[in-house]
Amino acid sequence: MPVRARPLSPHLEVYRWRLNMVLSITHRITGIALSVGFLVLMYWLVAVAGGPRAYESAAAVLASPLGILALILWTFAFFYHCLAGVRHLMFDVGFGFERAQRRRSGLITIAGAVVLTFAVWILLWHGAHS
């Protein structure tokens, strides 16, 4: 008896992109980014424990333009993932299912993550230059 190919579920290209869909995908991506960021944090902690030479090397990597960009993106991923998690908790208890509420909470999640990221890095910048 020949094996029949099972039908595949529709791919993302079939659906019209909506804010909720983008937010859900971004939530998953930021979860992965946080996992990778924790590996960078472990690298830094091992360097701290490894002595001054190891710390200076890690500090140089993280203070490079690419390192700073990665840290900024990691900060955004943290705040976005946290706020999106709160949004999902609200869904779990039955709040925010109306179209306008979903859109508003999604926009608040994005804006909140951007504002919090910006605020943290402004504080870090002022702290480093005072």
**Angle, vertex CA 79, rays to CA 38 and CA 37, nearest 5:** 15
Quick check: is 56 in a domain?
yes
Domain that holds residue 113: 21-128
- Domain with residue 87: its CATH number is 1.20.1300.10
13 occurs within a structural domain = no
Q: Confirm whether 5 is domain-assigned.
A: no
Q: Which is nearest to 34 in space by CA: 75, 92, 85?
A: 75
Residue 30 in domain: yes
Tell me, yes or no, whether 37 lies in a domain: yes
Residue 99 lies in a domain: yes
Number of domains in the chain: 1
**Residues 73, 78, 83, 89: is their CA dihedral positive or negative?**
positive
Give residue-wise pLDDT tens across range 15-48: 888 999 999 999 999 999 999 999 999 999 999 9
Q: Let me know if residue 110 belongs to a domain.
A: yes
Q: Please say whether the beta carbons of 26 and 80 come within 8 A.
A: yes
First to last CA, the chain: 76
DSSP annotation string for 67-106: HHHHHHHHHHHHHHHHHHHHHHHHHHTT---SHHHHHHHH
pTM: predicted TM-score of the whole model, two decimal places: 0.87
- CB contact at 8 A, 110 and 80: yes
pLDDT, one tens digit per residue, over 39-79 is 999 999 999 999 999 999 999 999 999 999 999 999 999 99
The answer to whether residue 9 is domain-embedded is: no
Residues listed for the chain: 130
